Amino acid sequence: MSSNELAQKLQARFGELISAPVEFRGELTVQVADAERIAEVCAFAKKDLGFDYLVDVSSVDNYGDDPRWTVVYHLYGYGHHCHLRLKTDVSEEKSELPTVSTVWRTADWHEREAYDMMGIKFRGHPDLRRILMWDGYPYFPLRKDFPLAGKPSHAPETAFTDPAPLEGGPFVTIAGGKDTIAREPRVRIPETDAIELNSRLERRQDIKETHGHAHGPGPIEKR
């Protein structure tokens, strides 16, 4: 049975709650219209359609649009080897939907990460607390209105953060350039304008010292 046939079975069971499947680059996605029924849909997908593995739960910040949040569930079945993606939208005002940790235990940490990074709550979760940031941290770092440099915060006797100087740093793409390599600051040689991976240069020197040339022990393939 294919992912498309399984998605059609899901749509046949829930009717208009489930959108028609959309394929992109070989991957299939359906939209769940009401986020309040996501646990019900997931329970059916696991029990009746064989999606016994929850690969991931991720979230999207549609900043500037309403509903603001999209929660994405990546499903897989070990029996039929099919993948299916479920999406459902949640308003910023509500910022909450039911947990699916009652369906797949692996949802526990996935949902905690979405809560920690986006501030989306999962009602009924057995232990919904931060998993990456410390308890009491006042922000949600993956929201699009969270500045790239971070925000200062202080929790006495616990932790603190200061804005990070990011100009020219490893996580800021340089505008312009002839290609993605030229725009990536991690490939720039410090104190020069040359563009080359530092680790690649070091590895090339190691190879040259070992073999007398920079291309390794094997033959050079013709382009």
What gap in Å lies between CA 186 and CA 95, rounded to an integer? 36
Quickly count: other Cβ atoms within 10 Å of residue 165's Cβ.
8
In degrees, rounded to 5, the angle at the alpha carbon of residue 101 between the alpha carbons of residues 123 and 115 is 50
Q: Which pLDDT score, from 0 to 100, does residue 165 have? A: 63
- Cα dihedral across residues 128, 129, 132, 136: positive or negative: positive
Burial classification of residue 150, based on how many CB atoms lie within 10 Å of its CB (0-12 exposed, 13-18 middle, 19 or more buried): middle
Burial classification of residue 156, based on how many CB atoms lie within 10 Å of its CB (0-12 exposed, 13-18 middle, 19 or more buried): exposed
- What is the pTM assigned to this prediction? 0.73
pLDDT < 50 stretches in the chain? 196-201, 203-204, 214-220, 223
What gap in Å lies between CA 12 and CA 196, rounded to an integer? 54
Superfamily of domain 3-147: NADH:ubiquinone oxidoreductase Nqo5 subunit (3.30.460.80)
Q: Where are the domains of the chain?
A: 3-147, 165-212
